[in-house]
Amino acid sequence: MLFAIEQIVGTAALRGLKGGEALENDTLQPILEEAGKFAAEVLAPLNQSGDRERAVLENGVVRTPTGFRDAYRQFAASGWNGVPFEERWGGQGLPWAVAGAVQELWQSANMGFGLCTLLTQGAVELLTAHGSQAQQQLYLPRLVSGEWTGSMNLTEPQAGSDVGALRTRAVRRDGHYQITGQKIFITYGDHDFTDNIVHMVLARTPDAPAGSRGISLFIVPKFLPTPDGRPGPRNDLRAVSLEHKLGIHASPTAVMSFGDDGGATGFLVGEENRGLEYMFTMMNNARLGVGTQGVAIAERALQQALVYARNRVQSRELGSSDPAPVAIIRHPDVRRMLMTMRALTEAARALSYSAYAALDQSQRGTDAEMRARAQARVDLLTPIVKAWSTDIGCEVASLGVQVHGGMGFIEETGAAQHYRDARIAPIYEGTNGIQANDLVFRKLARDGGAAARDFLAETTGAAEALADRPGDDARRISALLHAGARALGTATDRMVALAASDARSAAAGAAPFLRLFGAVAGGAMHARGAAAALDSLAGGAGDPRFFRARLASARCYADHVLSAAPALVHAALDGATSVLALDDASF
Ligand SMILES: Cc1cc2nc3c(=O)[nH]c(=O)nc-3n(C[C@H](O)[C@H](O)[C@H](O)COP(=O)(O)OP(=O)(O)OC[C@H]3O[C@@H](n4cnc5c(N)ncnc54)[C@H](O)[C@@H]3O)c2cc1C
């Protein structure tokens, strides 16, 4: 993690920003070590028991699994909830690049637990950007400290990907609004961690225009705060039921009913009918957070598979005269799986940190041009980090099961849980199909591919810089990255044109296009890592074994992932014919 932040993302770009001083004087390592300790000692031991016990709804009250409430209290008391937030609200003011890394640790240790903090984080971002002064003063200190948590209420039975179809109503009454309606799939919609929950709810006023332009955003607290900020009377909302899910069993996913007794009291954020725009602040933050979950679950699956591969003894070693069976880590195909897991995880991690670093620059950059360029970068990378990293989470967790053989399919090892937990990440926070559409129809289309070309120019720069370094690894990685960047450049130009001329064909190719983008972006991350590793090896600083391993991982990525990337151009741009060939009945 340190290598990704310091050597690949580069701390130089962050040091000049507000809060960036924390990256000087070796403060980063102790922060990550402390967070790692908390994750390993408090959260990770509850991962498997939380999966088995599950969150339950009993007599109208949600109970999280044994130990979770206490872990949350320790988490909040240690100040972990406020890592990236402004000091004036009680936060630590650290860069998002650090907060993203710390977030990865919570998600790796216990995704069912980590989701709660991820959503509170989004609620803080939302209110910081769009809340009134009074709302900020009331809610932000309590959300930043973790005294209260936040939830996100978009989805309704008829309004999933199509948020504009939502029907929850908000009627003006005496300076506030009365909210009535049902939301489904609400993560941590109710729980026993805190005395209050701050629901961020999308609803429609009676005279609102149809579709997504008629949606407003409301703060709907579980308990209405008293003037001095304590939880007061109970609001008219409740968790009706919890979903039985494939994974993340510890995280309560609630059906929420608002206004069964006349209307829940809600407080408008900003102006009416601009709710979806405001909610995007929370969603974009959560999309990066969910991308981080993909990285996190991949890392957990990798660590678990490694331990198993070192201990499981099976078959003699190929090419050895010794007939004794060996640990399976000695078998080339198992090594291929472990190296692939490692190479993919490291690529996705560096890409997610680089998106967080761009977010830091967009928010805390010193000049307007830097902020605008960084914002374009975050906008571009958000769907890629969300979708590509969560697909990697599933792929790596699946390989993790495979490394375990039959025991991977048996719940007691825990490998199966990672696979089950990983599967939600490509679905929520906008499915990966919606992310691909976002990349093609918004992020590429709105600037004609300019931000993508800016990213590509840096990628080519990384390939050229690596080509100047000695050795076969540098040459091979550089050549494969050049080829990938050329392919992505061609695909970007053609996709911009296709999106304008034939939207259905562009949509049919959007997912392979996103995959191509992710593969090349991951290659750029590895190329920078390989250059830094070679420099460290040449300079004799640090642990040579670590740097050689980074180099091998970058080479593995180039040989096994980047090499296949140019083939995706065909699927992205010429694959629509077959995809759209059949009428519905012929499927
Ligand atoms: C465990 C869990 C936790 C969740 N937490 C929350 C939460 O806290 N708050 C909240 O508001 N929601 C939450 N959700 C809801 C989640 O965000 C939605 O499930 C998701 O956005 C997809 O909506 P849907 O399930 O209705 O699927 P649908 O929209 O019905 O999609 C079904 C399929 O069709 C595809 N599809 C739909 N429309 C398009 C299109 N225009 N173009 C291309 N493909 C399309 C989708 O990609 C998907 O593959 C959660 C869901 C789960 C399962």
Q: What is the pLDDT of residues 288-309, one digit of tens each?
A: 999 999 999 999 999 999 999 9
Please report the pLDDT score of residue 25 as a whole number: 67
Distant-in-sequence contacts of 280-283, Cβ < 8 A, 24+ apart: 281/122, 281/125, 281/126, 281/129, 281/130, 282/122, 282/123, 282/125, 282/126, 282/152, 282/200, 283/122, 283/152, 283/429, 283/430
Q: Which of 428, 429, 439, 440, when mutated, tests ligand 1's pocket best, judged by the most ligand atoms within 8 Å of its CB?
A: 428
**DSSP-assigned letter for residue 156:** B
**What is the C-alpha separation between 368 and 371, in angstroms, rounded?**
5
Is 428 close to ligand 1, i.e. is its CB under 6 Å away? yes
For 14-37, what is each residue's pLDDT tens digit? Answer: 888 877 877 776 789 999 999 999
Q: What is the mean pLDDT of the chain?
A: 97
**SS3 category, 266:** strand
What CA–CA distances, in Å, run from 393 to 12, 288, 417, 422, 553?
29, 14, 12, 6, 17
Structure tokens at 569: 């151009």
Q: Is the CB–ligand 1 distance for residue 434 below 6 Å?
A: yes
Instruction: Give the count of beta carbons closer than 10 Å to the beta carbon of residue 260.
Output: 13
Regarding the beta carbon of 185 and ligand 1, being less than 6 Å apart is answered: yes
Secondary structure, 3-state, 440-453: HHHHHHHHCCHHHH
Q: How many CA atoms lie within 13 A of 487 on its CB side?
A: 29
Residue nearest (by alpha carbon) to ligand 1 atom 32: 161
- The answer, yes or no, to whether any atom of ligand 1 lies below 6 A from the CB of 435, is no
Mutation probe of ligand 1 site: the residue of 431, 438, 439, 513 with most atoms within 8 A of C-beta: 431
Secondary element (H or E) of residue 501: helix 472-501
Is residue 164 in contact with ligand 1, taking CB distance under 6 Å?
no
pLDDT digits (tens, 9 = 90+) for 84-133: 999 999 999 999 999 999 999 999 999 999 999 999 999 999 999 999 99
Confidence of residue 587 (pLDDT cuts 50, 70, 90): very high
- Regarding the beta carbon of 424 and ligand 1, being less than 6 Å apart is answered yes
Which DSSP string corresponds to 572-586? Answer: HHH-HHHHTTS-GGG
Q: Please tell me the chain's helix, strand, coil percentages from 3-state DSSP, rounded to the nearest 5.
A: 65, 15, 25
Band of pLDDT at residue 388, cut at 50, 70 and 90: very high
What is the pLDDT at residue 16? Answer: 83
Q: Cα of 438 to ligand 1 centre, how many Å?
A: 14
- Shortest-distance atom of ligand 1 to CA 432: 47
183 CA: nearest ligand 1 atom: 11
Question: Distance between CA atoms of 539 and 526, rounded to whole angstroms?
Answer: 20
Average pLDDT value for residue range 314-337: 97
Q: Is 478 in the pocket of ligand 1 (CB under 6 A)?
A: no
CA–CA gap between residue 310 and residue 451 (Å, rounded): 44
Return the pLDDT at 15.
82
Q: What is the DSSP string of 352-421?
A: HHHHHHHHHHHHH-SSHHHHHHHHHHHHHHHHHHHHHHHHHHHHHHHHHHHHTGGGGGSGGGSHHHHHHH
How far is the C-alpha of 569 from the C-alpha of 217, rounded, in Å? 40
431 CA to centre of ligand 1 in angstroms: 6
d(CA 14, CA 422): 31
Q: To test the ligand 1 pocket, which listed residue (161, 166, 241, 390) has its Cβ within 8 A of the most ligand atoms?
A: 161
Type of residue at 418: H
**Ligand 1 centroid to 184 CA: how many Å?**
11
- Output the CA 386–ligand 1 centroid distance in Å: 14
Q: Is 572 left (phi over 0), alpha (psi -120 to 50) or beta?
A: alpha
Burial class (CB in 10 A: 0-12, 13-18, 19+), 539: exposed
The answer to whether the CB of 149 is under 6 A from ligand 1 is: no
Token pair recorded at residue 304: 């678990």
Residue whose CA lies nearest to ligand 1 atom number 17? 428
Taking the C-alpha atoms of residue 278 and residue 561, their distance in angstroms, rounded to an integer, is 37
How far from 587 is each of 73, 505, 575, 584, CA to CA, in Å?
A: 52, 18, 17, 6
How many A from CA of 429 to the centre of ligand 1? 7
Q: Is the pLDDT of residue 377 over 90?
A: yes
Pocket test for ligand 1, best of 185, 201, 243 (most atoms within 8 A of CB): 185
**Mutation choice for ligand 1 from 116, 155, 514, CB with most ligand atoms inside 8 A:** 155
Q: Is 431 in the pocket of ligand 1 (CB under 6 A)?
A: yes
Q: What average pLDDT does the segment 398-417 reach?
A: 97
Residue that the structure tokens 């990966």 belong to: 432
Asked if 301 and 286 count as a contact pair (C-beta separation under 8 A), the reply is no
Give me the pLDDT at residue 136, please.
98
Give the Å distance between the CA of 477 and the centre of ligand 1: 37
CA dist 372 and 362 (Å) reads: 6
Which residue's CA lies nearest to atom 26 of ligand 1? 160
Does ligand 1 come within 6 angstroms of the Cβ of 160?
Answer: yes
Ligand 1 binding pocket includes 153 (Cβ within 6 Å): yes
Give one word for 38, left, alpha or beta, with left for phi > 0 and alpha for psi -120 to 50.
alpha
Which two tokens mark 87? 């000091």
Q: 154 in ligand 1 pocket by Cβ < 6 Å?
A: yes
- Give yes or no for residue 142 having a pLDDT over 70: yes
Q: In the 8-state DSSP scheme, what is residue 80?
A: G
SS3 227: coil
Distance 388 CA to ligand 1 centre (A): 17
Residue of the CA atom closest to atom 44 of ligand 1: 433
Q: In whole angstroms, give the CA distance from residue 453 to residue 236.
A: 50
Q: Cα(523)–Cα(343) distance, rounded to whole angstroms?
A: 10
Residue nearest to atom 16 of ligand 1 (CA): 428
d(CA 504, CA 433): 13
Q: Residues 243-284: pLDDT tens digits?
A: 999 999 999 999 999 999 999 999 999 999 999 999 999 999
Question: Measured from the CB, is residue 188 less than 6 Å from ligand 1?
Answer: no
| Spatial CA neighbour of 6 closest among 92, 108, 97, 84 | 97
Distances (CA, A) of 171 to 137, 175, 233, 527: 25, 11, 20, 55
Decide whether any atom of ligand 1 lies within 6 Å of the 375 Cβ. no
pLDDT digits (tens, 9 = 90+) for 209-242: 999 999 999 999 999 999 899 999 999 999 999 9
Strands 149-153 and 197-203: parallel
Task: Answer yes or no: pTM beyond 0.95.
Answer: yes
pLDDT tens-digit series, residues 474-510: 999 999 999 999 999 999 999 999 999 999 999 999 9
Instruction: Kindly give the distance from the C-alpha atom of residue 160 to the centroid of ligand 1, in angstroms, as a whole number.
Output: 5
CA dist 500 and 442 (Å) reads 11
Catalytic residue positions, numbered: 429
pLDDT tens-digit profile of 252-261?
999 999 999 9
The pLDDT > 90 percentage for the chain reads: 96
SS3 132: coil
How far apart, in whole angstroms, are the C-alpha atoms of residue 74 and residue 214? Answer: 41
Token couple for 119: 């959503």
Query: pLDDT category, 469, cuts 50, 70, 90?
Result: very high
Quote the CA–CA distance of 381 and 151 in Å, as a whole number. Answer: 24
State whether the beta carbon of 152 lies less than 6 angstroms from ligand 1: yes
Taking CA 57 as the corner, what is the angle to CA 56 and CA 63, rounded to the nearest 5 degrees? 60
Q: Is the pLDDT of residue 348 over 90?
A: yes
- Nearest 5 degrees, angle CA 289-CA 21-CA 462? 65
Residue 327 burial class via C-beta count within 10 angstroms: exposed 0-12, middle 13-18, buried 19 and up: middle
Question: 285 near 125, Cβ under 8 Å?
Answer: yes
Q: What spacing in Å lies between the alpha carbon of 427 and ligand 1's midpoint?
A: 6
Q: How far is CA 432 from CA 126, 384, 514, 525, 557, in A?
A: 23, 9, 9, 22, 22
